[in-house]
Structure 1
Amino acid sequence: MTQGIYLGKAGPDAASDRGWLLGHFKPVGDIRHSTDVEIKWGVHPAGDQRARWATGETRTALLVLISGRFRLDFRKCSPVLDAPGDYVVWGPGVDHSWYAEEESIVLTVRWPSVPGYAVPRPE
């Protein structure tokens, strides 16, 4: 790659880092390292769900449906994204979880990029 340019493929790149393409968790010096924003390419089989609710959130998030049928669960509502391009934005302090009603691909953008929010990997 040319310095300052990274050409990638979301599927393979995401598979190597739990879906994340850009954020604080990429090595310093990598063009994909950022403390301002995180971007995730999420590929979810039908029935996949978040391991536990995200609480105490300090970031803002945007989730866009690329394909499939994907439900977001908030304490007050559970919108279902079922057409490509459907999206939801939520802010700091909004607890959430999710469930893939069908095999789904979603693009998530969160800002800022804050260390320490990873859900532990299943044993």
Structure 2
Amino acid sequence: MDEGIYVGNAAKDGAGNGGWLLGHFMPAGLDVRHSTDVEVKWGVHPPGDTRAEWVTGERRTALLVLVSGRFRMEFRGRSVVLAEPGDYVVWGPGVDHSWYAPEEAVVLTVRWPSVPGYRVTSG
């Protein structure tokens, strides 16, 4: 990083942090990727990949854009299938959700604000 500029690769940089590239969880201080305003994720999902548990009590707004493949977002009482590159879905605070990748998929997620929580703990 040089003078507030960071250049990287989403797949490589996100690999060590669950795909997340920018947000409150990045090192505070001089790392320009640290933000409490927004989070950005490059999600690479193999066929059959699913979220281990539903997100409930959501406090953020999110935008999920399909880059490639197919991806299904699950909401209480509604499923949304993203099938064409550029398809997207936006949901707001209070909307419970989960997801499933019926085939290999790459998605870009932007959430705001960036707040701790919502990570599935491995048990």
Report the TM-score when normalising by structure 1.
Answer: 0.97
Match of 2:12 in 1: 12
* Structure 1 segment 1-123 matched on structure 2, within 5 A: 1-29=1-29, 30-121=31-122, 123=123
C-alpha separation between the residues in 2 aligned to 1:45 and 1:56?
A: 27
Task: After superposition, give the CA deviation of every residue in 1:78-104 in whole Å (9 maximum; x if it has no partner).
Answer: 010000000000000000000001100
Deviation digits for residues 15-36 of structure 1, max 9, x if unmatched? Answer: 0111000000001021000000
Q: Give the letter aligned to residue 8 of structure 1.
A: G
Give the residue type in structure 2 aligned to 1:104: A
Q: Which runs of 4+ in 1 moved over 4 A?
A: none
Give the aligned CA root-mean-square deviation in angstroms: 0.8
Residue 76 of structure 1, CA deviation: 2.1
Identical residues among aligned pairs (%): 72
Rounded to whole Å, the distance in 2 between the matches of 1:90 and 1:110 is 10
Q: Secondary structure at the match of 2:63?
A: strand
Equivalent-residue separation in structure 2 for 1:89 and 1:71 (angstroms): 13
TM-score (norm 2): 0.97
Q: Which runs of 5+ in 1 are unaligned?
A: none
Q: Secondary structure at the match of 1:34?
A: coil
